[in-house]
Structure 1
Amino acid sequence: MHRMERHVSHTNKRVGTTQVARSYVSRWLALLAALCMLAPLGGCGFFTSDTKDTPSPVQSASTGPVSIVATLNQWGSLAERIGGDDVKVTSILSSTNVDAHDFEPTSKDLNQLSKANVVLVNGAGYDNWATKWIPSNASTISAAETVGAIDGDNPHLWFSNEARSSVARELFDTLCRLRPKDKSNFEKNYDAWKTSEKKLENTMKTFRKEHSDLTYAATETIAAYLMSDMGFKDETPKGYLQAVQNDSEPAPSDLKSFQTLLKDREVKLLVINPQQESSTTDQIVDAASTGSDPIPVLKVTEQMPQDQKDLTGWISSLVKQTNDLINSEEDAE
């Protein structure tokens, strides 16, 4: 990972007398000493953004558990899997009752970030609120950067097998660098995680083989990566999808196209985000539910539900739900 570092340039000036030079140096030494007393980070380090309300120092990663702060609980759970007993993970967003797009960190959240040895963010514009508070001497892992995603791309990267694997590898490499003496523990944890993720991959592969012509529509793009990994084709009307991506209300004609798509049973599954329900999504769900042959509805939240303790386990449960819904839909045909 590459990290921007703050560089301070110094200008040397020639003075006319030895006395003036000594006075000049003394003043700067006094100022430097004062700054070090006020600096929030050990070794006179500074935050990457300017702030006067500075939190407490970052603890060394050489002793005690490595402190990891994740912006999202799904990524935090992955950090716990890789780090095991050698890490202490704090997840800032950990409730399905919170809208991640409108989230504002509290002073407690910022204080937790200030003490992190490792900060794990999603990136791709999803959690920009965190980046300006990352300590300058903390290691930063961005899920988006591991797969080349940028602002404007679908930010729901935790639903992607590629992103999960890339972040897990980055966590393993970072922890081994920070705590080489515990490398064998990290290797054991990483191998165990890869086994469970491989099992999930195989389950999705079997699902793709057993079902053909898989189609779905969604009220938003939250599960697009998951649906793609499972072999589904997105048939959401383009006009509606564009409106959602622009955070605007769909035009009446686009909503009607969506409703017609569902009433004519042109897709096998509808995906909704219960965290973003509205009168528009209610109309869409109603269209899927009408008639004697309703389209099954899969509810997918942005944050990992509290009854799920592990990212791979959560994705596995969604795959199982999807499989059950599709099987029941096909049995009814």
Structure 2
Amino acid sequence: MYSSRTRRLLTTASVISVLALGAAACGSDDGNGDQAGDGKIRVVASTNVWGSVVEAVGGDRIDVQSLIDDPGGDPHSYEASARDAADVQSADVVVYNGGGYDQFFADLAEQASGVRQVVAFDVSGKDAGEQGHAEEEHAEHEHAHGDVNEHVWYDLATVAKVADEVADRLGEADPEGRQRFTANAADFTGRIDELTGKVERIGEEHPGSEVVATEPVAHYLLETAGVADVTPPDFAEAIEQETDVPVAARDAVQRLIRNGEVAAVVNNAQTVTPVTENVVGTARGANVPVVDVTETLPEGTTDYIAWMTGQVDALSGALGK
């Protein structure tokens, strides 16, 4: 069974309707975000990737809820519920990717006036002038990856910036915890710096390495590692837009793999189609390593650094074969 990639974005009218239902669902909330009455800051994140970053910064002074924490979940096709809307409205802080990636959450956050927000894509500063264009393309059921790649959780420098931004927003919501949040963020970004050095060493140890990718999810990670993604543009664009991959592009990918012209195939394990399965099968048949990457944390994993380190190690190991 193939995972669905149908990208059904909520319309403005449906978002407002959901929010109205959400307000009714949380009618007993006093508006301070502390529904449990335990004094903790309530944070809602769009995915468990950003939720894990928030947890590393907030520690035991916060309560984090990630709307998408299913390894098979797809932010592009996720449909928000009334409960989701209520949770966002009652949060002290919300954190999401932005750049059109998790548009359902952006719609909810737009209707939650006064809630502190951290938008990773905005924090990244990557092609900020193109952001509106990226979101417009998403509204037309497209995934913008020409000038803009919104998968910024694979850009370690951005993740460090997000951690600092989260510390600031949490400090505003909980002044007594500000010093702890700042210290936690510093510790987290220090670990990010160490991981960045490890990624950069991949390029130093395996100069000139080339790969093909079933989808450019790990674009920024490969860029930091100095690894070239030589996937034919027509192939990547078709996979992104869920259109038929041109025969010439499919053949070109097959040749690159069979002829041993690439060191590995980087596979988005959460985007499974007959075409990507065929690419992975060809790679295994040709003894070309396959490196699986994901868009959310796998089940049982809650630590961003541990998750990303595992993928970095897998990439390094594949290029070393």
Give the partner amino acid of 2:118: I
Q: Is 2:92 the counterpart of 1:117?
A: yes
Does residue 192 in structure 1 map to residue 187 in structure 2?
A: yes
CA deviation digits over 1:282-313, x for unaligned, max 9? 2212322234xx11001111111123211122
Hey, which bits of structure 1, 4+ residues long, moved more than 4 A?
48-51, 60-63
Rounded to whole Å, the distance in 1 between the matches of 2:16 and 2:124 is 26
Q: CA deviation at 1:93?
A: 0.4
Structure 2 residue corresponding to 1:52, chosen from 2, 7, 20:
20
Q: What's the offset of the Cα at 1:240?
A: 0.9
Residue 82 (1) aligns with residue 57 (2) = yes
Q: TM-score by structure 2 length?
A: 0.82
Work out which of the two has the higher radius of gyration on C-alpha atoms and give 1 or 2: 1
| Post-superposition CA distance 1:185-236 (Å, at most 9, x none) | 1122112112211221121232222221111110111111111111101110
Q: Could you tell me which of 235, 241, 244 is aligned with 1:246?
A: 241
- Alignment of 1:299 with 2:292, yes or no, is yes
Which residue, out of 249, 253, 267, partners 1:272?
267
- Secondary structure class of the residue paired with 2:300: coil
| Aligned: 1:140 with 2:117 | yes
In 1, Cα distance between equivalents of 2:201 and 2:72: 34
SS at match of 2:43: strand
Q: 1:106 and 2:81 equivalent?
A: yes
Identity of aligned residues (%): 26
The equivalences for 1:131-280 within 5 A come to: 131-134=106-109, 135-149=112-126, 150=131, 151=134, 152=144, 153-280=148-275
Aligned residues: 279
Q: 1:250 to 1:244 in 2, by over 3 A?
A: same
SS at match of 2:243: coil
Structure 2 counterpart of 1:59, one-letter code: N
Q: Distance in 1 between matches of 2:106 and 2:201?
A: 39
Please tell me the residue identity of whatever aligns with 2:97.
Answer: N
Q: What 5-or-longer segments of structure 1 have no aligned partner?
A: 1-47
Gapped runs of 5+ residues in structure 2?
Answer: 1-14, 135-143
The alignment yields a C-alpha RMSD, in angstroms, of 2.0
C-alpha separation in 1, matches of 2:180 and 2:277: 48
Q: Quick one: structure 1 residues 181 and 246, their matched pair in 2 at CA, closer, same or farther if it must change by over 3 Å?
A: same
Q: How far 1:237 moved relative to its partner?
A: 1.1
| Distance in structure 1 (CA, Å) of the matches to 2:20 and 2:281 | 52
Alpha-carbon offset, residue 142 of structure 1: 0.5
In the alignment, which residue of structure 2 is the partner of 1:12? none
TM superposition shift of 1:162 = 2.0
Aligned twin of 2:9 = none
* Partner Cα distance (1:59, 1:160) in 2: 33
Give the residue type in structure 1 aligned to 2:319: I
Cα shift readout 1:239-265 (whole Å, capped 9, x = no counterpart): 212222333221111111111111111
Q: Which amino acid in the other structure matches residue 194 of structure 1? A: T
Amino acid in structure 2 at the alignment position of 1:289:
R
- Cα distance in 2 for partners of 1:184, 1:246 equals 45
Measure the CA separation in 1 of the matches of 2:319 and 2:20. Answer: 55
After superposition, give the CA deviation of every residue in 1:29-77 in whole Å (9 maximum; x if it has no partner).
xxxxxxxxxxxxxxxxxxx946532423432579811111000101000
Match of 2:302 in 1: 309
1:69 matched to 2:64:
no
